[in-house]
Structure 1
Amino acid sequence: MGTERVRSDRLGLLLEQFDCARERAQVRLTGLGDEEHLWEPVPDCWSIRRREEAVTQRAFGPGDWLLDQGAPYIPAGEYAEVARQAADGMSVAKIAEDWSVGVEQVEEILQHTGPPEPEVTPVTTIAWRLAHLHYCFAGEWEWTFGERRHDPKLLVDFTPDATLAQERFWAAIDRWRDSVGTVTDEQLDTVGFSQYPYGSDAGEPYHDVLWGANLEFIHHMAEIALLRDLWQARFGTRG
């Protein structure tokens, strides 16, 4: 057997986890066609839509196709985090800014007692999930290694073309991965090394940001894989 060295440093572990997930994801996306890419398995899905056909109030994108997005809200699973932020002395206004929601929503959460109400979230298409990951990773690169001045929501020209969407997506992923591979131990520990404007990146050490990026990639790719299985079970074809 070979004696290939396995990295055990913090960055190495995070990169190896990401690389493994990326390899599996690319295999699972092989043969994706346009119809499957845009398939809505249930009514009222979120997807990408032509600008004139957008159905959600905050759909965004720089071109002819927009990514569905609804009103800003704090997921029920994050109520404890909001309570922790308040307990640590963060003002209601700052918490609202951190989550991109109104002050009223934060106040309601802080006053909430008992278990959170079950969340009702939309089912999203493969096109939506790929586009979501694309703009997130493109924005993470821009606000960590780039000029840090372009709105992440305007960086990606969304497309219904499954092949083109993947080409652009993997190019953005590879650029991000190459840049992350150069990060030093000092930068891993630097709070605010990433200034990505949506979320809590600016207040976290970069190793936590990378951990979150891996989680985001893995869970959305798992969802895409399931949608592909459902498509094949229903229609008996790939693409």
Structure 2
Amino acid sequence: MNLIAHLVEQLDWHWQHQLRPRLAGLTDDEYFWQPVPNCWTVHPDGDVDFVHPPPTPEPVTTIAWRMAHVIVGVLAVRAHSHFGGPPASYESWDHATTADDALRQLEDAYAHWTAGVRALTTADLDTPVGPAEGPWADRPMLDLILHVNREVIHHGAEIALLRDLYAHTTTKEN
């Protein structure tokens, strides 16, 4: 069994058949839409709302915020740390201020991450991920890949739901 192919297939199936099609036609209005007051978002100047630890309850986040999280924290930082992708951190990232830019960033980050996973060997899956992953440092690469898959699928579903809510609450039927 080719375990790496299965790991890539899990995320790639979701990307090709669910997430990426659901992002087609994303507008700037949807990208920045706040379904409730005081959402965390990416601002027009590229600043991103965030504090650690987050307040309780945690704020609702916009599509822009959720995409920034997936682009930077889930994919790009890890593609850089483990596969030599472009440098990435929340602090230095040029956060997308349009839906089109966010989609391009998402596609780039996804491509870097999946290319890196495809290049792994089965033996690499047992290798600890190292200090770049903080509390995950001693965990095997297999665990990190499964975590990234879960994060992309989970946040992708949230983004799809926000698009549905936007479509059903901000437009009127003729």
TM-score by length of 2: 0.88
CA contact (8 A) 1:145 1:179 kept: yes
Partner of 2:84: 146
Moved over 2 A (4+): 194-197
- Can you give the 5+ residue segments of structure 2 that lack an aligned partner in the other structure? none
Q: Please state how far the C-alpha of 1:160 moved relative to its aligned partner.
A: 1.9
Measured in 2, the distance between the counterparts of 1:32 and 1:196 equals 33
Pick one of 165, 168, 173 that aligns with 1:233: 168
Partner of 2:46: 65
Mapped to 2, the partners of 1:154 and 1:141 lie a distance apart of: 16
Q: Does 1:164 align with 2:145?
A: no
Structure 1 residue runs of 5 or longer lacking an equivalent are 1-7, 51-63, 76-118
Q: Is the 8 A contact 1:139 1:196 kept in 2?
A: no
Instruction: Select the structure that is richer in helix.
Output: 2
Bigger Cα Rg: 1
8 Å CA contact 2:41–2:48 kept in 1: the answer is: yes
Q: How does 1:84-99 map to 2 (within 5 A)?
A: none
In structure 2, do the counterparts of structure 1 residues 190 and 130 end up closer, same or farther at CA, with 3 Å as the change threshold? Answer: same
Given that residues 72 and 88 in structure 2 are in contact (C-alpha distance below 8 angstroms), is that contact kept between their aligned partners in structure 1? no
Tell me the residue number matched to 1:181.
Answer: 118
Q: Is the 8 A contact 2:32 2:41 kept in 1?
A: yes
The one-character-per-residue Cα deviations of 1:32-87 (angstroms, maximum 9, x if unpaired) are: 1001100000011100125xxxxxxxxxxxxx4122112226x9xxxxxxxxxxxx
CA contact (8 A) 2:41 2:49 kept: yes
Q: What is the RMSD of the two structures over their aligned residues, measured on CA atoms?
A: 2.2
Distance 1:147 1:133 in 2: 15
Aligned residues: 170
Question: 1:134·1:156 contact (CA, 8 Å) conserved in 2?
Answer: no
Deviation at 1:232, TM superposition (A): 0.6
Q: Give deviations 1:172-216, integer Å, cap 9, x for gaps.
A: 111111111010111100012x5434x433221000000000010
What percentage of residue pairs aligned between the two structures are identical?
36
Deviation at 1:155, TM superposition (A): 4.8
Q: Does 1:9 align with 2:9?
A: no
1:152 and 1:130 map into 2 onto residues whose CA distance is 14
Could you report, residue by residue, the CA deviation over 1:136-162 in whole angstroms, capped at 9, with x for unpaired residues? 2110011101289x5622453112210
Relative distance call for 1:21 and 1:195 in structure 2 (3 A) is farther
